[in-house]
Every structure is written in structure tokens, then in C-alpha cells.
Structure 1
Amino acid sequence: MPDQPNTAMPCQPPELAIIVPTYKEADTVAELARRLSIALDGIAWEIIFVDDDSPDGTAARVRELARRDARIRVIQRIGRRGLSSACIEGMLATSAPFLAVMDGDLQHDESLLPTMLQTLRDEELDIVVGSRYVAGGGVGDWSDRRQSMSRFATRIGQRLIHAELQDPMSGFFMVRADVVQSCVRRLSGVGFKILLDIFSSAEQPLRFRELPFVFRQRHAGDSKLEQAVLWEYLLMLTQKVIGPVIPVRFIAFSLIGGLGVFVHMAVLWPILTLLGGGFLLGQAIATLVAMTSNFFLNNLLTYRDMRLRGRQLLWGWLTFVLACGVGALANVGIANYLFEQGDSGWFLSALAGILVGAVWNYAVTAVYTWKRPRSD
């Protein structure tokens, strides 16, 4: 049985808060708390686990720890999902002047935290980053594919923030609380890369230093890395470029809708040219196939935190097709009305119809097809 965290009650407000977003990390939270207690001896600290309603009982496990150590806290989020937004909630839930963010899977080196804190205390810096890509750092046993994805995302991130940060994709860093509080309303809260979000949202260039660490193997559980991570990263970059006015889900929904046009044409063309089918039948088949592909792509990517599974897929598909069918009618009706008025021209009329149909499809399917994050 591993040693339990120090049970002494804190006698002063925390100087450092460690924010740990979790999902299905019930097997690691006790060990992480134990390691942090050892690493941060002599420092006034607290851990805030922000759990996205894990079905394995992660939040309940943290509550057990918190009953023995008041420095351990948990925020259990119901109906919300996402690493970046979890980090933001955790960072706003503490009075500590210094905030650290790290994963709950024991892959980040907790022994680096005292050095990060001392560096922020002693130097005029805003943020200290645990870096895998400076001398002395490393990515451990990552596969070549994962390393290539990380390098690609890193190059894009460096261009976005216009800073010589070697590891903008790091999920391990420490920041002054006032830096986060000054830019929190500009954070997108999208995806997994909260560090990049903070750098790109700050009004002034952040003063930073990178300290090396080697990424460790997982202690327990499964890796959360998947193809959708890169998709969410690209969405977050898009959100930062165009601003917060347009919801990021609508951006994703619209991009997939654009892909649906190519699917539609790819189905319609062989029906007309190779099979000799009639246009009306071909158009109907192509429309249904495009709607179906859009549904599954949105279920996988746009609404991955609300992903429908099993029998719910059939109901979701039916509501999606019905909503998009009405949206298509609205598209045609609006476009035809504007065209007949004679002021807009065919292009603007068609564009207005497309926009109305897209907004309708997005709004209705958000209410009836995907309702809330799933817990499994």
C-alpha cells in the first residue's frame, strides 16, 4: 500500500495550486497526491482535481483522499467536458498566486515543481514551462508517428504565438495567477492545449522560461491521445484567428458540411454517368449519403464529448436527417425568395440560403441530436 498524503491541516493559505484535469484516472490520483506531498514539502500548496464526471469513480476517490488531507480538493463537472475548460475552472477556483497545470497520469515530473516555483519567485517571469524539447528534456517512449504529430503541431503553435517557445504543446507549466485572470475572458477553452491558449490570449508577450523534463510512461489507465486531438487543436487555432463570436462547434459543423458537398457529388456523378440513373433518384440517394456521412463525422469530431453510441446512433441519425431536410427546404426557400426579388443576384441569394440552412441545422441538431456530454 503506498504511503498516504500528509494529513496535517494547512495553517496558511496556499501559495501554489496544482490543477489536475482528470477523466478515468481513479487508479492514479492517490499516487499523484502522495508524490506531490513529498515533492512540495515545506511549500503551502493545494491540489485541485477537476474531473469530467469519470465513470470509474475518480471524483469519489479524490473525495476519500480529501477527507484525510484538506489540501486536496475536487471539482466534479456534470454536463461539461474538455481538458482546457477544466483547467480554466480549476485555476479560477483558488486564491493561490501561483498555478501549476499537470496531467493526472503521472507522466509529468512532479519533482520539477519546486524549481518552477522558485524560478517564478526569483525572476521577472510570467510563466515557466516544463519542456520536452530543450536540452535535457525528452518524450520518452513515444512512437515515431506520435513524435511527428507533436512536431507538426509545435511548428504551427510557434507561428501562432510569435514566441521562441520550444514546447508550446506542453501540458506541464506554472503561471502567475494574475496572468490567467487578466486573459481568461479571451481564452477559447477548446481542446487540450491550454498553454498555447494562454500565450495567444495574453495582451502583452509573456515572459517565460523553459525547464527540461522527460515525459514518463503512464502509471495506469489508457492514453487519451487519438486523431481527434489534432482536430481539436486545429479548431482551437481557428477560434483564436477568427475570435470568439462564432462558436467553435459551429466552425467544425460547417467544415464537415462543406465536406458533405464533395460526398454528395462523388455519389451523384456515378449514378448519372455510369449507372444511367435519373437525376431525381440520384439526387435523393446522394443527399441521404451526404447527410449520413456528415452525421457520423459530427458524432466523431464536432460532438466527440457527446458521442452517441449503440442504439442512440439510430435515433441521432433520424433526428439529424430530419433537421437537415428542413434546413434544405429553408435553404432553397430563402435563396429563391431573395433571387426573385432581383436585388441580390444568384450568388448572394444562394449564399444567404446556405447560411440560413447551416445555422438551422446546427441549432436544431445541437438541441435534439446531441444533448449533453456522455459519461462513458
Structure 2
Amino acid sequence: MPVHSQLLSVLLPTYNERENLPLAVYLLTKHLDASAMDYEIIIIDDGSPDGTLEAAEQLQKIYGSKRIVLRPRARKLGLGTAYIHGLHHAKGDFIIIMDADLSHHPKFIAEFIRKQREGDYDVVTGSRYIAGGGVHGWDLRRKIMSRGANFLAQILLQPGVSDLTGSFRLYKREVLQHLVERSLSKGYVFQMEMMVRARQLGYSIAEVPITFVDRVYGESKLGGNEIVSYLKGLLQLFAST
């Protein structure tokens, strides 16, 4: 079932993204309108103290409740569970998952759709590490950390994709549903597990080059605790796959 006239659901988990969300939504609507696809943007806010939900409510008034769907949660419960929560409420035949902090530019979605149509792929994943992809705004330390995390994951998990730690993807709805049911991870490792499980279950995966841009506003949520959680999660995933 290639992407054509079906509905596309974009899942946007947010935590303290009041500054970034209006621009992210504007760019999404601009590029999705140009793609001539029917779509909905599902904002899953995890109790942000900075007024992200209020900003989302304003955006819903501007763009309408058919386009902007709000599915907030009372507190921060983690990225993996945010996607699962969003999936429960999504009506789309296809699901896009991406970050709300402008590190993933919506202009690449057209390329995801084109690639999916080309081979009727189950999953199309964005890669910073294939020809045409890249990273902007990171210092050397972040680049080394990212490459190191990806390299370690490649060795342990052998997923067959070049950018396992990325989180900008298009899934067929039923494929994502199946992967989520099989998934054990809930944090940052969730994205990696999706790819490893997809490969194990024989789903077809394609990659498209993307440029990742460091967040425009706000603090990066990747701190020491997240790095420790990543390593723990990676080892658990290695042991369970």
C-alpha cells in the first residue's frame, strides 16, 4: 500500500518546546500541504512547565482541530511511551515520527513519501550517515558521542541501517503497531529497538539522507543520565534480540 491519498499522522512528542513548536507546526503544514497529502499532527505534551500545551492550544485554534490533535499527558513519561500514546490516537495509514525541536526539518518528509512509494517499503528511516546526509550545529564532542553510540549499536545489534540512533522515520501504521507490541524499551533506546525488531521480523526498510540541525531554542535533553540509560538499554537490547 504505497503512500498516496491515504492519511498521514505526524507524532510530535513535546517537553518544554514552547519556543520551537509554532515554527515546527508552520513548517509541517507548509510542506505537507505542498505534498497534497491529507494529514494530522498529533502533539503529545508531557506536562511541560513552560507553557508548551498552551502554545499547542493556540496552534489548534489557528490550524483547526482536524489538523492539530492534542493528546497531552500529565507528566514526563518518556519518549517511547509518548509514541505509543500517540499511535493509539492516530488515524493515519502512515505514521511519521520526528522531534519537535526543529532538528528534523519537515522538508524531508516529501523524500520519505517518494521513497516509500518507490518500493512500497514498510519503514523509511532518515540517515545522517549516508551520502547527502549530515549534522549541523554540533561541536566535535557531540559528533564523536553520536558516532560512537551509533558505532557501538552497529557492532552489538547489526541492524542493517546506517543511522540506528536517529528518530526521523515513516512507518506503515500496522508495521509500527506490530513493532510497538514487540518492543521492550521505553526511553531513547526505543528508536533503536524499532529498527532491530523490524529487521528481525523481515520488514522492508529504506534509508533517505537527512540533515540533522541542533536545536534552535532550549536545552538539549541529552545529559549524563540519558547516556547511562542509553548504554544500559543498548546492552539489554543486545541480550534480548
Q: TM-score, normalised by structure 1?
A: 0.58
Structure 1 residue aligned with 2:78: 82
Which whole-Å CA distance do the structure 2 matches of 1:63 and 1:189 have between them? 30
Query: How far 1:56 moved relative to its partner?
Result: 0.7
Match 1:59 to one of 45, 53, 61: 53
Deviations 1:289-319 (A, max 9, x none): xxxxxxxxxxxxxxxxxxxxxxxxxxxxxxx
Structure 1 residue aligned with 2:231: 234
Which amino acid in the other structure matches residue 117 of structure 1? I
Deviations 1:162-203 (A, max 9, x none): 233111111111111111111222212422243312122345
| Higher gyration radius (CA) | 1
Instruction: Say if 2:148 is the partner of 1:156.
Output: no
**Unaligned stretches of 5+ residues in structure 2:** none
Report which of the two has the higher share of strand.
2
- SS state at 2:213 partner: coil
Query: How far 1:218 moved relative to its partner?
Result: 2.1
- SS state at 1:139 partner: strand
Structure 1 residue aligned with 2:209: 212
Structure 2 residue aligned with 1:113: 109
Q: Given that residues 189 and 234 in structure 2 are in contact (C-alpha distance below 8 angstroms), is that contact kept between their aligned partners in structure 1?
A: no
Report which of the two has the higher share of helix.
1
Q: Given that residues 115 and 208 in structure 2 are in contact (C-alpha distance below 8 angstroms), is that contact kept between their aligned partners in structure 1?
A: no
Match 1:25 to one of 8, 14, 17: 17
Q: Given that residues 48 and 75 in structure 2 are in contact (C-alpha distance below 8 angstroms), is that contact kept between their aligned partners in structure 1?
A: no
Which whole-Å CA distance do the structure 1 matches of 2:177 and 2:123 have between them? 13
Q: Given that residues 24 and 55 in structure 1 are in contact (C-alpha distance below 8 angstroms), is that contact kept between their aligned partners in structure 2?
A: yes
**Unaligned stretches of 5+ residues in structure 1:** 1-12, 245-376
In structure 2, relative to structure 1, the CA distance for the partners of 1:230 and 1:206 (3 Å cut) is: farther
Query: How far 1:14 moved relative to its partner?
Result: 6.1
Match 1:176 to one of 158, 167, 172: 172
Q: Given that residues 47 and 73 in structure 2 are in contact (C-alpha distance below 8 angstroms), is that contact kept between their aligned partners in structure 1?
A: yes
Q: How does 1:230-269 map to 2 (within 5 A)?
A: 230-243=227-240
In structure 2, relative to structure 1, the CA distance for the partners of 1:161 and 1:177 (3 Å cut) is: farther
Q: Given that residues 18 and 52 in structure 2 are in contact (C-alpha distance below 8 angstroms), is that contact kept between their aligned partners in structure 1?
A: yes
Query: How far 1:73 moved relative to its partner?
Result: 1.3
Which whole-Å CA distance do the structure 1 matches of 2:216 and 2:76 have between them? 26
Match 2:137 to one of 141, 147, 156: 141
In structure 2, relative to structure 1, the CA distance for the partners of 1:182 and 1:217 (3 Å cut) is: closer
Structure 2 residue aligned with 1:196: 192
List 4+ stretches of structure 1 deviating above 6 A: none
Which amino acid in the other structure matches residue 52 of structure 2? T
Higher relative contact order (CA 8 A, sep 6+): 2
Q: Given that residues 42 and 69 in structure 2 are in contact (C-alpha distance below 8 angstroms), is that contact kept between their aligned partners in structure 1?
A: yes
Counting matched residue pairs gives: 232
Structure 2 residue aligned with 1:298: none
Match 1:123 to one of 119, 123, 126: 119
In structure 2, relative to structure 1, the CA distance for the partners of 1:37 and 1:209 (3 Å cut) is: same
Q: TM-score, normalised by structure 2?
A: 0.88
Structure 2 residue aligned with 1:330: none
Which amino acid in the other structure matches residue 197 of structure 2? S
Deviations 1:112-141 (A, max 9, x none): 102212221331311111111111111112
Q: How does 1:207-356 map to 2 (within 5 A)?
A: 207-243=204-240
- SS state at 1:215 partner: strand
Deviations 1:256-281 (A, max 9, x none): xxxxxxxxxxxxxxxxxxxxxxxxxx
CA RMSD of aligned residues (A): 2.0
Which amino acid in the other structure matches residue 149 of structure 2? A
Structure 2 residue aligned with 1:309: none
